Structure 1
Amino acid sequence: MVKIALGSFGDSFSVGSLKAYLSEFIATLLFVFAGVGSAIAFGKVTSDGALDPAGLVAIAVAHAFALFVGVAIAANISGGHLNPAVTLGLAIGGNITLLTGLFYWIAQCLGSIVACGLLKFVTDLSVPTHSVGSGMSVLEGVVMEIVITFALVYTVYATAADPKRGSLGIIAPIAIGFIVGANILAAGPFSGGSMNPARSFGPAVVSGDFTDNWVYWLGPLVGGALAGLVYGDIFIGSYSPVSASQDYP
């Protein structure tokens, strides 16, 4: 069953929690800077800026590498979520309280906004936003984002949040980065392959273009919540909520 814990302001504003928020801000900033920066760089080095197979692979690899690093550098402090959908999925399983998770969301979104603002400043180029591909409806885009985010958060649970995972060490960030890269290759031309509301929100804020941005909140949050329900209930049946003051994982 769902193990959501509301939490308290005391726990959410402890020294450890404040350090976790800062860690999420920095790690998300670095991830988004590299991920969005790769898309900007591709547009810079190609004549028309149109995404082609090589560009899709380059952007997918950049996101995979950057997320691997981002998760690895934040794992021991905040758990290395870097993604509101991951935070929600873990809250469903009792790994983080809702109140602390809300502050994670704020830190992640601020990190993304700052990263995109820096990219806009240093490149003086437009920041690309996520959008549903030509020929796809927004509903199809939402479903695509649900599926690929489910895969991401399920991977997070299996490699990092499952108490029976054993000593996976650095394998968890690698696996999480790999599934994001693979999902971008599969979904990039269709839904954009976001899987991350913060990753989509930062470019929307800086560019001022919120067209279909709700798709990249609804789809990933539903997918993340479903993964938390499935893995938490079926595979971690006897889990109990943790205190917000405890570090994850």
Structure 2
Amino acid sequence: MESYMARAFGYFVCWILAVSVSGAHFNPAVSLAVYIAEGKYVRQIGRLLLYWFIQLCGAFAGCLFVYMIFNMPVNAFLLWPAAQNPAVRIWFFSELGNIYYGKVLFLELFNTFLFVLVYLFVIYKPSLRTVDEIIKGLAVAFTLWVCYFFSAGSGACLNPALAIAQTSYQVGILNGMDANGNGFASLIWVYIIFPLLGGILAAIWFRIHIYLDNKALEPRGGGGGVAV
């Protein structure tokens, strides 16, 4: 719970610093959704790849910072359902200890979809363009906290760059302590693929919404105009 709030608050602070410069993506799923929503595919592919590279570097830098502070595994940075919680263990593991992949991937997809969709509305919805950036940042940060909360202890990454960096961190640290670090890497594909799918679905949903909005604003034809 405290970890989710800290992540959301950290996102809000970074939003204030970066939204007017880069759009405050911080997440390959968000960048992919923006790329699809804007529809400038050929012209923006270089920008998308550059964003992904920088986001991945930032994720590794963050994990390095955590390592320099703690030099030990941090539960909040383990991409794995919180099995130490008895309730969470029942939700995500069978009696034999096998993980329920369907639940984890659904929550990763659904919560990333919600977060990215709110981000797109806050950034691109015409009626919200005059809203102060601080208010927008609070809305997106609150949404991020809600999405983490809805993840119900499933690992809650929502960010492919963070998934790669966190998995590298936890595998390296745990293997160095003669623990099963490699075992924790078995879920990395969920935390990479399904946030990206969530971002794609959010972008498609957003484009459909904007299309229907514009369609509703078009003047209707016909009707007895008077010729002058």
User: Where on the TM-score scale, by shorter chain, does this alignment land: which range?
Assistant: 0.7 to 0.9
Shift of 1:218: 1.3
1:109 aligns with 2:56: yes
CA contact (8 A) 2:123 2:129 kept: no
Q: 1:150 aligns with which of 78, 101, 113?
A: 113
Structure with bigger helix share is 2
1:233 aligns with 2:177: no
Instruction: Read off the aligned partner of 1:123 and give its amino acid letter.
Output: F
Count, aligned residues: 181
CA contact (8 A) 1:126 1:207 kept: yes
**Which structure 1 residue ranges, 5 or more long, are not aligned?**
1-56, 239-249
Aligned equivalents of 1:161, 1:200: Cα separation in 2: 27
CA contact (8 A) 2:59 2:161 kept: yes
CA contact (8 A) 1:142 1:218 kept: no
CA contact (8 A) 1:197 1:220 kept: yes
CA contact (8 A) 1:144 1:219 kept: no
More deviation in 148-157 or 98-107? 98-107
Q: 1:65 maps to which residue? A: 9
Shift of 1:165: 2.1
Q: Provide TM-score, normalisation by structure 2.
A: 0.73
More deviation in 59-68 or 198-207? 198-207
Structure 1's consecutive aligned runs of 4 or more residues displaced over 3 angstroms after TM superposition are 132-135
SS in 2 for 1:76: helix
1:130 aligns with 2:94: no
Q: 1:186 maps to which residue? A: 150
Instruction: Read off the aligned partner of 1:168 and give its amino acid letter.
Output: V
Instruction: Read off the aligned partner of 2:17 and give its amino acid letter.
Output: I
Q: 1:216 maps to which residue? A: 191
RMSD: 1.9
Instruction: Read off the aligned partner of 2:206 and give its amino acid letter.
Output: Y
Q: Percent identity, please.
A: 25
Residues 120-160 of structure 1, C-alpha deviations (whole Å, 9 max, x = no match): 12221124321245343122211111110111011111111
How is 1:1-249 mapped onto 2 (pairs within 5 angstroms)? 57-94=1-38, 97-127=44-74, 128-132=77-81, 134=89, 135-136=91-92, 137-169=100-132, 170-189=134-153, 191-208=154-171, 209=182, 210-236=185-211
CA contact (8 A) 1:89 1:224 kept: yes
SS in 2 for 1:130: coil
**Which structure 2 residue ranges, 5 or more long, are not aligned?**
83-88, 93-99, 172-181, 215-228
